């Protein structure tokens, strides 16, 4: 059986019919869309990075009916801020992706004059499954470069309160929250550490590792002070108490606390810091800090497998490419064989 069909406009219909049995007809119709490029999207459309930081841009060309097109040629150009980034002529990663990296030697005075980088992408030559192609479209992404600490809303230091026996060491972290509620670990990158009373001990200014004095000052049973982390114009403090062991070390119940308790991180590839180190501190019923023989980390209850990963040894979480939630779990054992468990909650993306 043969028939005629017509194509009109950007929509086409392929029609075929086959005679079956006593006059029954099986008809198949395929509906396709035009491959004309109507628009191109860039993700992220805006991003904020610091000197030395980078962001990966991804473009998607769409047809007149909103379908993502294949076989598209993407051309990336830097329209503004070429002097602020590394190799402005070579930002293309291939295909629909580009990477913009801010120069690490940028100064505050330079960024006061201009801190914007505008990248343009032009898509052309999309092809449909019939091989038809035509049209082009452009879009831009704006990257803002800021000095470290300039987007800081608050700084918290964890553990926020801790009692240590003479000679013990404790890692502290500077937990920064920006104006959008995202957090990041600035312990080693930008934090300036200061101890209020040098008799408490010493702090490594690069890592935030505190080591308590070998003994209390003569005649003192307890010594209290503060450890401050300064990031930009904001600062946070933790209270450090140096004291002798109270009662029997490790007397139950021993509680394992994970710091920070709640974290919100941006997605990977947005140009923002997307890692966070977690700490676990064990304390007995008398407030003594209990040394741990072993400590491992894992993730549980992830809403999606690509929310992120955690280093089982260091407790450093790295966000992934999918927004979601999960639970950070610390599993520890004390010198006396007590098994401990602590948790914290995390969110990735908006």
* Mean pLDDT (whole number) for 183-187: 79
Contact indicator for 288, 282 with CB cutoff of 8 Å: no
Same domain assignment for residues 121 and 207:
no
Beta bridge partners of 40: 61
Residues 262, 325: one domain?
yes
Top mean-pLDDT range of 12-21, 102-111, 227-236, 267-276? 102-111
User: Which DSSP string do the residues of 88-113 spell out, in sequence order?
Assistant: TT--EEETTEEEEEB-TT--HHHHHH
pLDDT of residue 185: 81
Judge whether 22 lies within some domain: no
Residue 334 within a domain: yes
Q: What CATH number does residue 65 fall under?
A: 2.60.40.1080
At which of 244, 266, 289 does a domain end? 244
Domain boundary among 89, 124, 145: 145
Residue 185 sits in the same domain as residue 264: no
15 falls in which pLDDT band (50, 70, 90)? very low
* Domain stop point among 117, 145, 173: 145
Do 328 and 349 belong together in one domain? yes
Number of C-beta neighbours around residue 243 at 10 A? 19
pLDDT class for 31, splitting at 50, 70, 90? very low
Residues 213 and 261 in one domain: no
CA nearest neighbour of 91 among 62, 70, 123, 117:
117
**Within a domain: residue 31?**
no
With a cut of 60, say whether residue 102 has pLDDT above it: yes
Q: Does residue 6 fall inside a structural domain?
A: no
Give me the CATH number covering residue 220: 2.60.40.10
pTM over 0.75: no
271 and 209 in a single domain? The answer is no
Query: Helices in 241-327 by DSSP H: which ranges?
Result: none
Q: Is residue 81 part of a domain?
A: yes
> Are 131 and 81 found together in one domain?
yes
Residue 271 gets the label, from left (phi > 0), alpha (psi -120 to 50) or beta, of left
Q: Is residue 5 part of a domain?
A: no
Quick one: pLDDT at residue 190?
Answer: 60
State the residue range of the domain holding 267. 249-350
What is the Cα–Cα distance from 137 to 116, expressed in whole angstroms?
23
Kindly report, residue by residue over 120-150, the tens digit of the pLDDT: 999 987 544 455 546 788 999 999 888 776 6
Q: Do residue 269 and residue 339 come from a single domain?
A: yes
Q: Assess whether pLDDT exceeds 90 at residue 166.
A: yes
Assess whether 100 and 196 both reside in one domain.
no
126 with 220, same domain: the answer is no
**Residue 290, pLDDT score:** 92
* Same domain flag for 278 and 328: yes
pLDDT digits (tens, 9 = 90+) for 264-290: 998 988 777 788 999 999 999 888 899
The 3-state secondary structure of 236-261, one letter per residue: EEEEEEEECCCCCCCCCCCEEEEECC
In a domain, 263, yes or no: yes
- Number of domains, the chain: 3
Based on the fold, state whether residues 190 and 226 are members of the same structural domain.
yes
How many other C-beta atoms lie within 10 A of the C-beta of residue 280? 24
Using DSSP bridges, classify how beta strands 161-164 and 116-124 pair: parallel, antiparallel or unpaired. unpaired
Q: For residue 259, is it within any domain? A: yes
């Amino acid at each position: 059986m043969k028939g005629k069909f017509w194509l009109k406009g950007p929509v086409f219909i392929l029609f075929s019919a086959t005679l079956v049995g006593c006059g029954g007809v099986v008809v198949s119709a395929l509906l396709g869309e035009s491959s004309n490029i109507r628009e191109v999207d860039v993700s992220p459309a805006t991003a904020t990075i610091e000197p030395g930081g980078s962001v990966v841009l991804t473009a998607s060309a769409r047809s007149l009916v909103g379908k993502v097109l294949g076989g598209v040629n993407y051309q990336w150009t830097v329209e503004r801020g070429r002097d602020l980034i590394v190799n402005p002529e070579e930002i293309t990663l291939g295909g629909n992706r580009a990477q913009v990296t801010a120069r690490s030697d940028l100064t505050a005075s330079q960024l006061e004059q201009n801190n914007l980088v505008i990248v343009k992408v032009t898509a052309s030559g999309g092809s449909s499954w019939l091989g038809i192609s035509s049209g082009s479209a452009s879009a831009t992404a704006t990257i803002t470069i800021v000095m470290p600490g300039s987007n800081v809303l608050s700084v918290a230091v964890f553990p926020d309160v801790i009692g240590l026996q003479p000679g013990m060491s404790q890692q502290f972290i500077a937990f920064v929250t920006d104006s959008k509620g995202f957090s990041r670990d600035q312990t080693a990158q930008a934090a300036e550490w200061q101890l209020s009373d040098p008799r408490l001990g010493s702090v490594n200014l690069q890592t935030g590792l505190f080591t308590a004095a070998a003994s209390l000052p003569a005649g003192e049973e307890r010594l209290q002070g503060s450890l401050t982390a300064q990031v930009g114009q904001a600062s946070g403090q933790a209270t450090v108490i140096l004291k002798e062991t109270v009662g029997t070390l490790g007397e139950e119940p021993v509680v394992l606390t994970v710091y920070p308790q709640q974290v919100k991180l941006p997605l990977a590839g947005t140009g923002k810091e997307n890692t966070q180190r977690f700490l676990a501190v064990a304390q007995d019923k008398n407030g003594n800090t209990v040394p741990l023989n072993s400590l491992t980390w894992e993730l549980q209850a992830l809403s999606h497998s690509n929310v992120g990963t955690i280093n089982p040894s260091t407790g450093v979480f790295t966000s992934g490419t999918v927004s979601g939630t999960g639970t950070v779990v610390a599993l520890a054992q004390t010198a006396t064989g007590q098994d401990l468990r602590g948790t914290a909650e995390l969110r990735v993306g908006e």
